[in-house]
Structure 1
């Protein structure tokens, strides 16, 4: 665990200097009628000297004309465009959670209308020299309360409990011989997370206005994978109550290379986020505004079917 904590400190110290601040252009006019509290921006500035295309949407959580929600499917996946039609054409649709390709199973927590409708996978059976052992992880999420306050935390979710439990400091992972989470002392450090809306992914990218990529503690991407450039989806919030939803196009050499997790964190920090996290990326990354794509999805088939999305609706 000491090595993991040291790695996190190094990211806090070195990450802010990894790329110059990019310049963003307002492109509201390309996305139809928008509420005055919602804006769309794009950039084609280079990231680390590589071609880049990125978009972000900023929305005011305090605007009562906006609703923030989620939607999921059960043991199946549909495209963001299909979610858009299924939800009566909302203002914004963006992909969220990770999933199992073989089973279409959602692997992360989702809260809709104050209810847990999907749960984090906390226990994974290990193989090889660790056969008969289990890995226990606590993945991160972004939530919005009824009072429209946002929070990023690491979650423990139990299907027998009404509310998720949240850690405000990264708990890390552990191994043992039990197929369920048993460390009561660890869970006692968590508290009830009473959110109206939430979507989970990981790792956390920003905490307390500092880049702090909790990849190792959430046991997300192995080896040097966090330094690979990919399409990305991320969410965060600012101290003034503005929500930031960011997507980065990628896997298109010479056009849009994508971003590393650290580069993604730097973009969010420059946009003023006090907390932020990574969501499912790669071919899943897709954001629609009034039904129109922002970045171009990297899969040659177009939009990848996903099991859960985050939604912004304009109240009529």
Structure 2
């Protein structure tokens, strides 16, 4: 079991999409400002996520959710952020957005239904096509020098042969475990053979339990932080 989405400390609300048994149970929050040590602001309606299909195939994509829809939609390549004057985006606008957006990739973008059974959002994307490509500038997840800071990290990705990689990195323990930057996290996931990889909520939220036992020492005074969404892997009976 591992933590996943970013969330509001004030309300415990997920800020990213969650799909359970093929249905959306949490939607992307398009725009929110937060204050504090780890300050960041969401200004992008397409939030990156990792999903698993019925055939247990993983995928990382930029997702769009709407409370009127039961299924998420997704772009397979990163798209430019919206201007601040348009903080909200309707589904119809989202369909047209990919055609008009000036993507920094050469790949044409189109919004398609994302057929996943399980999915959790986070960001930014760290690895694409097996290469280190930290997409923080496009996704606008962390501001200023935050991408270079060392913190505990939670990461997920998948390899070419279909293996799911789930990792937590201990941090904020001077002299013992300093943590990792987003670039270092991307380099680690690429070195492990990930085709695509995603950053999830880190810091004091980072925690992985295997058979109920902690794998790292949490940075919040050694205590596990309550989080609203986790990713669980169970042995099939």
State the partner residue of 1:248.
169
State the partner residue of 2:129.
208
State the partner residue of 1:218.
139
Shift of the alpha carbon at 1:124?
4.3
Q: 2:78 and 2:86 mapped to 1: Cα distance?
A: 22
Shift of the alpha carbon at 1:264?
0.5
Q: 1:301 and 1:288 mapped to 2: Cα distance?
A: 14
Shift of the alpha carbon at 1:280?
0.2
Q: 2:63 and 2:164 mapped to 1: Cα distance?
A: 20
Contact 1:206/1:212 (CA < 8 Å) preserved in 2?
yes
Contact 2:45/2:88 (CA < 8 Å) preserved in 1?
no
Question: Where in structure 2 are the equivalents of 1:79-94 lying within 5 Å?
Answer: 93-94=1-2
Residues 254 and 156 of structure 1: is their aligned pair in 2 closer, same or farther, counting only changes over 3 Å?
same
State the partner residue of 1:157.
65
Q: 1:197 and 1:215 mapped to 2: Cα distance?
A: 24
Q: 1:138 and 1:234 mapped to 2: Cα distance?
A: 19
Q: 1:245 and 1:213 mapped to 2: Cα distance?
A: 18
Contact 1:137/1:172 (CA < 8 Å) preserved in 2?
no
Which segment drifts farther, 100-109 or 167-176? 167-176
Specify which structure has the higher proportion of strand.
1
Higher Rg of the two aligned structures: 1
Which 4+ runs in 1 deviate beyond 6 A?
none
How many pairs were matched up? 217
Specify which structure has the higher proportion of helix.
1
- The RMSD of aligned alpha carbons is 1.7
Shift of the alpha carbon at 1:125?
7.6
Contact 2:122/2:199 (CA < 8 Å) preserved in 1?
yes
Contact 1:137/1:219 (CA < 8 Å) preserved in 2?
no
Q: 1:121 and 1:272 mapped to 2: Cα distance?
A: 31
1:277 aligns with 2:183: no
2:158 to 234, 237, 256: 237
The runs of 5 or more residues in structure 1 that have no matched partner are 1-92, 127-133
The runs of 5 or more residues in structure 2 that have no matched partner are 35-41, 100-109
2:48 to 133, 140, 144: 140
Contact 1:136/1:181 (CA < 8 Å) preserved in 2?
no
Question: For residues 200-251 of structure 1, what are the alpha-carbon distances to aligned partners after superposition, in whole Å with 9 as ceiling and x for unaligned?
Answer: 1000000011111011111111011100000000000001111000110000
Q: Scaled by the length of structure 2, what TM-score is found? A: 0.87
Q: 1:194 and 1:213 mapped to 2: Cα distance?
A: 25
Shift of the alpha carbon at 1:95?
0.1
Question: For residues 250-308 of structure 1, what are the alpha-carbon distances to aligned partners after superposition, in whole Å with 9 as ceiling and x for unaligned?
Answer: 00000000000000011111111000000000000000011111011010151000010
Q: Scaled by the length of structure 1, what TM-score is found? A: 0.66
